[in-house]
């Protein structure tokens, strides 16, 4: 039997650092190119919020539902075939809701909250939910400790992320992003272990401030990535001067940076060796290489799962996986 050359032992993981919708799209492509059990996803929990007394982890759920093939693909979050009877009934008591929690989704939040009240860690519960939904990849919250992202916009107090993003529709000039609890929160030991032993790490095309920022703010994460940055790739969430989804472009502008892939590359220069930009941004490749990164130019728009898989393939090839 002729064996294909396998440069890596099969157990070595491909680790992806992820926020919500953009990351999930990429991961859907990644698991078409790499066996799902070789994929570890480290997920932002800075967006977590309490609704109706329940612990809601939107990014964990977006990634888990996507990997379970249960996500509402049109909106990128929440469950497919969803109904909103419970939310409608809750409106009688709480008034008109601004955060759309569906009936199927409620079951996840009820289970998570129940288990946390019993004393289970968020990482344990996340694993239980992923297994129950048939997910083969490892889904890890960045931390078991609370870290909450707040966004300060001009003329307002700092708002918890979901209030800024969903209730406020991400409007207003961003003045500051606060990662409350970042100094106290510890990265999950399993996250640091996964980063240390990974075949390669990929920073998904997520918001660098509010999605990947909280993960990278945890002590030990940047320090673990830096020595092996040649095996770390990032995909630009900025394409043609704007984001595909979300407020990263407004945040860059508000924080005094140009809205370009180069600004994002600069944020990652100590930890990333391969930076992937869209063809429309080819002109930045030379400037990115001056940051001692390899610039990879490809189509990064993931309108279909097969386009996401093609992007994953390009990234894996650049990382020599």
- Looking at 8, 100, 132, 255, which residue binds ligand FO1 (CB under 6 A)? 100
In b/e form, how buried is each residue of 208-226, taking b as 16+ CB within 10 angstroms?
A: bbbbbbbbbbbeebeebbe
- Looking at 15, 70, 105, 296, which residue binds ligand FO1 (CB under 6 A)? 105
Nearer to ligand FO1, 90 or 280 (CB): 90
The strand pairing partners of 178, in sequence order, are 150
Strands 138-141 and 232-235: unpaired
State the binding string over 194-223 for ligand FO1 (x if CB under 6 A, else -).
-----------------x------------
CA dihedral 78, 198, 188, 60 (to 10 degrees): 0
Which H or E element spans position 103?
helix 103-117
- Looking at 15, 39, 41, 101, which residue binds ligand FO1 (CB under 6 A)? 101
Cα distances (angstroms) measured from residue 195 to each of 9, 111, 145, 229: 16, 29, 19, 11
- Looking at 17, 18, 21, 71, which residue binds ligand FO1 (CB under 6 A)? 21
Please state, in angstroms and rounded to a whole number, the distance separating the CA atoms of residues 208 and 248.
Answer: 7
- Binding of residue 287 to ligand FO1 (CB under 6 A): no
- Looking at 58, 141, 172, 208, which residue binds ligand FO1 (CB under 6 A)? 58
- Binding of residue 99 to ligand FO1 (CB under 6 A): yes
Nearest to 263 by CA among 274, 252, 271: 252
Nearer to ligand FO1, 17 or 101 (CB): 101
Treating both helix axes as pointing N-terminal to C-terminal, what angle do 21-33 and 305-318 enclose, rounded to 10 degrees? 70
- Looking at 106, 150, 164, 165, which residue binds ligand FO1 (CB under 6 A)? 165
Q: Which residue's CB atom is positioned nearest to ligand FO1?
A: 20
Residues in touch with ligand FO1 (CB under 6 A): 19-21, 47, 58-59, 61-62, 77-78, 99-101, 105, 162, 165-166, 211
């Amino acid at each position: 039997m002729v064996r294909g050359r396998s440069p890596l032992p099969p157990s070595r993981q491909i680790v992806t650092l992820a926020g919500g919708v953009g990351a999930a799209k990429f991961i859907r492509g990644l698991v078409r190119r790499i066996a799902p059990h070789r994929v570890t996803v480290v997920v932002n929990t800075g967006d977590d919020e309490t609704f109706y007394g329940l612990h809601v982890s939107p990014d964990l759920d977006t990634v888990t539902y996507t990997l379970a093939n249960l996500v509402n693909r049109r909106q990128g979050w929440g469950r497919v075939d969803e109904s909103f009877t419970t939310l409608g009934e809750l409106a009688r008591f709480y008034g008109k809701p601004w955060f759309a929690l569906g009936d199927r989704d409620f079951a996840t939040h009820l289970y998570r909250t129940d288990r946390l009240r019993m004393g289970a860690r968020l990482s344990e519960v996340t694993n239980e939910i992923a297994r129950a939904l048939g997910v083969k990849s490892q889904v890890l919250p960045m931390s078991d400790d609370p870290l909450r992202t707040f966004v300060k916009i001009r003329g307002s107090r700092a708002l918890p992320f979901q209030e800024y993003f969903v209730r406020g529709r991400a409007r207003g000039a961003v003045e500051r992003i606060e990662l409350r609890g970042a100094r106290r929160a510890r990265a999950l030991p399993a996250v640091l272990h996964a980063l240390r032993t990974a075949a390669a790490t990929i920073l998904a095309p997520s918001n660098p401030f509010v999605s990947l920022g909280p993960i990278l703010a945890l002590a030990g994460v940047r320090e673990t990535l830096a020595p092996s940055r040649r095996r770390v790739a990032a995909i630009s969430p900025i394409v043609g001067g704007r984001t595909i989804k979300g407020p990263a472009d407004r945040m860059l502008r508000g924080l005094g940076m140009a809205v370009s892939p180069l600004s994002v590359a600069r944020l990652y220069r100590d930890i990333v060796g391969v930076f992937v930009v869209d063809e429309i941004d080819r002109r930045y490749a030379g400037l990115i290489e001056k940051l001692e990164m390899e610039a990879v130019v490809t189509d990064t728009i993931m309108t279909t799962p097969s386009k996401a898989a093609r992007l994953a393939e390009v990234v894996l090839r650049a990382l020599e996986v």
